[in-house]
Structure 1
Amino acid sequence: MISEQQLYQQFQEKTRVVILTSKAENNITAMLLHVLNYHDKQVDFVLANGEQSIDESNEFIVIEAAKNADALKGNIALVIDVNSEIHTADFVNSITNGGMLVYNETIAAVKLLVEASTNTIKKYPYQQPNYTLENEVYFIDTNEGKLPLEITNENDIKHLLGVKWLCQHMGVDEDDFYEAVGEFQA
């Protein structure tokens, strides 16, 4: 498997979207790729399990972070939780100057790390959306009303707005995001 340093060297001309997750959040990247694919936004990806798709003409590459994630020097990043295998503070500080970080501000350790960082990046906090469970179907509150989801994992719902921020910075507006995520199954 290719190292993070090699990934950076190979894809330094692309916009690197790095997702720092734990094994418990492995549907986050799948959700992002679903929304992008739903709207015909072609992106490269390299997943932690070794699966990848590369096309030299694509602007973005989505990378699930593994050890040494700071070597990727992400342009856009998502931090869901403090990952015990990765030094999260180094990862936050490795994001390219002027880049952006989306983070879960409800996790105190994440919020503390991000707020302590002096890296010159844009910081976009998110919280879990308001949602309900009715007749075994999750609904989230949106500006247009309640949206039924096919998602069955409550943990995925908690991080849905983090994925929304990534999508918006990759060219998918909020309404289009909700249209696509309503059909995401995990």
Structure 2
Amino acid sequence: MPQAIHFISIGGSAMHNLAIALQQQGYIITGSDDTIYDPSRSRLLQHGLLPVETGWFPEKIHAGLSAVIVGMHALVDNPELVKAQELGLPIFSYPEFLYQQSQQKQRVVIAGSHGKTTITAIILHVLQYHNRSFDYLVGEQIHGFETMAKLTSDSPVIIIEGDEYASSPIDSQPKFLHYHPHIALISGIAWDHVNLYPTWEAYVDQFELLAEAMPKGGILVFDESDDMLDVIGQKERADITKVPYQAHKSEIIDNQTFLVDKQGNKILVQLFGDYNLKNISGAMTICDRIGITENQFYEAIPSFKPVALRLEKIAERISSDSNKRIIIRDFAHSPAKVEASIEAVKKQYSTEKLYAILELHSFSSLSKSFLIEYKNTLSAADVAVVYFNINAQPYRDQIDPITTQDVERSFGRSDLNVFTESDKMQRFLIDNKSEADVFLFMSSGNFDQIDLNTLSSQLL
């Protein structure tokens, strides 16, 4: 008889992918959620897992369940969770359950404030290119993979993108601590999410805990150019192998990035920017540790396509006189990411005029006390635009909401263009498009439901 598992908050990104992966392994899967959006909704419907009704139904919780997996969207008083506790059923967060299912595998965890999705995606691409057997969990839908999770009984290794946030409403421990990795990579540390970690020290402590929790014989891979990581990585730990990495050697030729190997050969890649060169180097280091040679890595990496919203070129126009206009979007939202993304684009397109457009969307970015962290982050852009929506929930949650004047003061640019209405921001960009060569849109949101494809057509 197949085991039955119920998901509380099945509509979550990782949750619905894990549900699909377990169904494909023969488990009987049920789930509930009070809101389910696409792409989760469509994918659950495709696999016959979309709940008939939204909401919470304690009657779905019964003694015949082998396990209940609870997501962060649920609250501690969720009626289904309460019923599961009353029945004494095994209750897991998804990282706890993933560990339970992978105890006989080599576990590789990719962590860090930035780059972890790209690093994980590169590793998965290289392994798939060479027809290796592996399981995985990645935080975004990536090219060449139908789901964001795969869990089988026979794959010898699992690659997990692990984050530092709470595991479930009843477990505040960071997710990545549940995985007990044999190999862990930390890509970089940049403070964000002040609503969860109100101080820099509290945030850094989570990565220190990950390093301290490495088992004997474990391998800790880290970006040695990150000052804080260098301190964590170089700390003496018994029976732990420390493997630092730096940005891969490269050259930019005609706005294209080439890796340069030890023999001086040039390998064209679709990624660019110092952060991505570090991501490539980190992924290559992990691949070396799980049986992929340098030559095999260089064979696979040219066909790797950037993860959506990671310096992703979404539109381009080249005129008859070879003039270019390029539209790029990026997930950058924390100060360090914003600065790095702008510098990467400016370096890649060194002779073009860059318009950088940033949406303040996260709770941290809309916090008056945190806003000063953005000082000088837009300096490399030729023209800088900041947008924030005063009707957005993160803005309304602020005790002391920011103003346009706060933004102008904090970023340290006297020529900063600040907008709180998306139509006015769009009109500004369209009116000035003839002055720009490259538009870089940066946000963890969507600029108040702007259709970037339509806007891109107007800008081109």
TM-score (normalised: structure 1): 0.91
The equivalent of 1:80 in structure 2 is 187
- Structure 1 residue 46 corresponds to structure 2 residue 137: yes
Q: Give the counterpart of 1:123 among 219, 242, 252.
A: 242
- Structure 1 residue 138 corresponds to structure 2 residue 229: no
Pair 92,76 (structure 1): closer, same or farther in 2 beyond 3 Å: same
- How far off is 1:178 after superposition? 0.8
The residue identity in structure 2 corresponding to 1:75 is: H
SS of equivalent residue, structure 1 residue 165: helix
Higher relative contact order (CA 8 A, sep 6+): 1
- Structure 1 residue 19 corresponds to structure 2 residue 110: yes
Deviations 1:121-180 (A, max 9, x none): 111111111212111110121023121112245522222111111111111101111111
- How far off is 1:23 after superposition? 5.0
Q: Give the counterpart of 1:161 among 249, 269, 281.
A: 281
- How far off is 1:47 after superposition? 2.0
Pair 105,23 (structure 1): closer, same or farther in 2 beyond 3 Å: closer
Question: Equivalents in 2 of 1:154, 1:115: separation in Å?
Answer: 22
Pair 171,149 (structure 1): closer, same or farther in 2 beyond 3 Å: same
Pair 116,179 (structure 1): closer, same or farther in 2 beyond 3 Å: same
8 Å CA contact 1:93–1:119 kept in 2: the answer is no
Equivalent runs, 1:85-96 vs 2, <5 Å:
87-96=206-215
- How far off is 1:21 after superposition? 2.9
How many residues are matched? 186
Percent identical residues: 27
- How far off is 1:83 after superposition? 5.9
Question: Equivalents in 1 of 2:109, 2:277: separation in Å?
Answer: 20
Which sections of structure 2, spanning at least 5 residues, go unmatched? Answer: 1-14, 16-92, 141-146, 166-173, 192-202, 307-460
Question: Equivalents in 2 of 1:168, 1:32: separation in Å?
Answer: 10
- Structure 1 residue 55 corresponds to structure 2 residue 138: no
Worse-matched range after superposition: 9-18 or 24-33: 24-33
Question: Equivalents in 2 of 1:159, 1:30: separation in Å?
Answer: 10
- Structure 1 residue 172 corresponds to structure 2 residue 307: no
Deviations 1:9-66 (A, max 9, x none): 2211111000003355421111111111111112100123582011211000011102
Q: Give the counterpart of 1:71 among 168, 178, 184.
A: 178
8 Å CA contact 2:111–2:184 kept in 1: the answer is yes
Pair 109,94 (structure 1): closer, same or farther in 2 beyond 3 Å: same
- RMSD between superposed Cα atoms in Å: 2.0
Larger radius of gyration: 2
Question: Equivalents in 2 of 1:119, 1:6: separation in Å?
Answer: 28
SS of equivalent residue, structure 1 residue 133: strand
Question: Equivalents in 2 of 1:117, 1:4: separation in Å?
Answer: 28
The equivalent of 1:101 in structure 2 is 220
TM-score (normalised: structure 2): 0.38
- How far off is 1:4 after superposition? 2.2
Question: Equivalents in 2 of 1:112, 1:35: separation in Å?
Answer: 30
The residue identity in structure 2 corresponding to 1:137 is: Q
